[in-house]
A and B are shown apart, each in its own frame.
Chain A
Amino acid sequence: MTDYNFAYLDEQTKRMIRRAILKGLAIPGYQVPFASREMPMPYGWGTGGVQLSAATLTPDDRLKVIDQGADDTTNAVSIRKFFEKTARVATTEHTPDASVIQTRHRIPEAPLSEDQILIYQVPIPEPLRFLEPSEVETRKMHELSEYGLMHVKLYEDIARHGHIATSYAYPVQVEGRYVMDPSPIPKFDNPKLSDCAAIQLFGAGREQRIYALPPHTKVVSLDFEDHPFDPSKADAPCALCGDTSSYLDEVITDDAGTRMYVCSDTDHCQTRREAGHSKETAA
Chain B
Amino acid sequence: MYVAVKGGERAIDAAHDWLAEQRRGDTTVPELDVAQIREQMTLAVNRVMAEGSLYDPDLAALAIKQARGDLIEAIFLIRAYRTTLPRFGTSRPLDTGAMDCMRRISATFKDAPGGQVLGPTFDYTHRLLDFKLAADGEDGASASAAVEPPETAPARVPHITGFLGRDGLIEQEPASDEAPPDLTRTPLELPTTRALRLQALARGDEGFLLGLAYSTQRGYARNHAFVGELRIGTVPVEMEIPELGFTVELGEITLTECETVNQFTGSKTEPAQFTRGYGLSFGQTERKAIAVALVDRALRWRELGEDDQGAPAQDEEFVLSHADNIQATGFLEHIKLPHYVDFQSELELVRKLRRQATQATETEAAQ
Contact = CB atoms under 8 A, between A and B. Distances in A.
A44 B187 contact: no
Interface stretch (A94-102, A148-156, A260-268): A260-268
A163 B352 contact: yes
B185 interface: yes
B9 to A, nearest CB: 5
A248 interface: yes
A76 B34 CA distance: 33
B5 A70 contact: yes
Contact of A233 (B5, B189, B333, B348): B348
B84 A168 contact: no
Contacts of B337: 44-45, 67, 74-75, 104
B333 A168 contact: no
B349 to A, nearest CB: 5
Interface residues of A, number: 65
Contacts of B330: 42-45, 47, 206
A106 interface: yes
A186 interface: yes
B132 interface: no
Nearest to B189: A33
Interface in A29-49: 33-40, 42-45, 47
B12 A184 contact: no
B341 A249 contact: yes
A39 B341 contact: no
A77 to B, nearest CB: 5
Interface of B is mostly: helix
B339 A105 contact: yes
Interface string B313-334: 0000100010000110111111
A74 B8 contact: yes
A188 B347 contact: no
Given A38-B79, A232-B345, A76 B190 contact: no
Contacts of B186: 35
Chain B interface: which size bin?
Answer: 35 or more
Interface in A209-250: 232-234, 240, 247-250
A136 B317 contact: yes
B340 interface: yes
Interface in A87-139: 104-106, 123, 134-136
Contacts of A77: 8-9, 12
Contacts of A276: none
Given A43-B334, A123-B331, A186-B345, A34 B5 contact: no
Nearest to A247: B341
Contacts of A145: none
A105 B341 contact: yes
B345 A266 contact: no
Contacts of B9: 72, 77
A168 B326 contact: no
Contacts of A8: 84
Contacts of A76: 8
Given A38-B82, A73-B5, A186 B341 contact: yes
A251 B4 CA distance: 8
Contacts of B185: 35
B7 A35 contact: no
A185 interface: yes
A72 B346 CA distance: 23
A247 to B, nearest CB: 7
A185 B327 CA distance: 22
A74 B2 contact: no
Contact of A185 (B86, B338, B341, B353): B341
Contacts of A78: 12
Interface string B204-248: 000000000000000000000000000000000000000000000
B344 A45 contact: no
A69 interface: yes
Contacts of A163: 349, 352-353
B358 interface: no
Q: Report which residue of B82, B186, B189, B340 has the largest number of chain A beta carbons within 10 angstroms of its beta carbon.
A: B340
Contacts of A67: 337-338
Given A123-B334, A185-B341, A232 B83 contact: no
A59 interface: no
Contacts of B190: 135-136
Interface in B121-151: none
A200 interface: no
Contacts of B334: 42-45, 123
Contacts of B55: none
Nearest to A188: B345
Given A45-B330, A167-B342, A232-B352, 8 more contacts: A8-B84, A43-B330, A68-B341, A72-B8, A77-B9, A105-B339, A249-B5, A264-B341
Interface of A: 4-5, 8-10, 12, 33-40, 42-45, 47, 67-70, 72-78, 104-106, 123, 134-136, 161-163, 165, 167-169, 184-188, 206, 208, 232-234, 240, 247-251, 253, 260, 262, 264, 266
8 contacts: A105-B341, A136-B317, A185-B341, A186-B341, A208-B188, A240-B2, A247-B341, A250-B344
4 closest A-B pairs (Cβ-Cβ)?
Answer: A44-B334, A43-B330, A42-B330, A167-B345
Interface of B: 1-2, 4-9, 11-12, 76, 79-80, 82-84, 86, 184-191, 317, 321, 326-327, 329-335, 337-342, 344-349, 352-353, 356
